[in-house]
Amino acid sequence: MRRRLAAALAASLLFAGTARAADAPPGAWSCTGCHALSSAPSVPPNPIPALTGRPAVEIAGIMREFKSRGRPATVMGRIALGFSDAEIDAIAEWLARQDH
């Protein structure tokens, strides 16, 4: 059962993977080094919140708050300042589309 699930997952990755590099705006893949992309629940849950499947406007809004220091953060303030608002919007839209 577990095995079959893994195989199915791998297959879905292979095909979902046709998403070309060019589809992701610059910097989008840097987020996933901390915010795990997989929606498979991890045990114990990762303390860094997952972002996939959340509405783009919500992610973009939070990023702007991080940038203006209007939202408490350990690292996100320092990261958000490295992106323009337009870049943030593009990344947020891309993240919202990733829900595999």
Partner 1 sequence: MSTRRRTFLGLTAAALAAPALVRAQGAAKVVVVGGGFGGATCARFLKRFAPALAVTLVERQKTYTACPFSNEVIAGLRPLERQQFGYDGLARSGVTVATTAATAVDPAARTVMLADGTRLAYDRLVVAPGIDFDWTALPGYDEKAAERLPHAWKAGAQTLLLRRQLEAMRDGGLVVIAVPAPPYRCPPAPYERASQIAWYLKNSKPRSKVLVLDAKDSFSQQPLFRRAWSDLYPDLIEWVPLSQGGNVTSVDPATLTLETDFDSHKADVANVIPPQKAGALARLAGVADRTGWCPVEPTAFESTLQPGIHVLGDAALAGAMPKAASSANAQGKACAAAIADRLAGRPPQAPRLVSGCYTLAAPDYGFSLVGVYRPDKGELREVPGAGGASPLDSDPVLRAQEARYAEGWFRATTGEIFG
Site residues, ligand HEC (CB under 6 A): 27, 30-31, 33-35, 48-49, 51, 59, 62-63, 73-76, 79, 91
Could you say whether residue 57 binds partner 1 (CB under 8 A)? no
From the list 24, 65, 93, 97, which residue makes contact with partner 1 (rule: CB under 8 A)?
Answer: 24
**C-beta of residue 91 within 8 angstroms of C-beta of residue 31:** yes
Q: Which stretch binds partner 1 (CB under 8 A): 19-27, 53-61, 92-100?
A: 19-27
Residue 44, preceding bond cis, omega within 30 degrees? yes
Helix-, strand-, coil-residue percentages of the chain, each rounded to 5? 50, 0, 50
The smaller minimum CB distance to ligand HEC, of residues 12 and 29, is found at: 29
If contact means CB under 5 to 8 A according to the sort of partner, which of partner 1, ligand HEC, none does residue 60 touch?
A: none
**C-beta of residue 99 within 8 angstroms of C-beta of residue 92:** no
Could you say whether residue 93 binds partner 1 (CB under 8 A)? no
59, with CB counted inside 10 A (0-12, 13-18, 19+), is buried
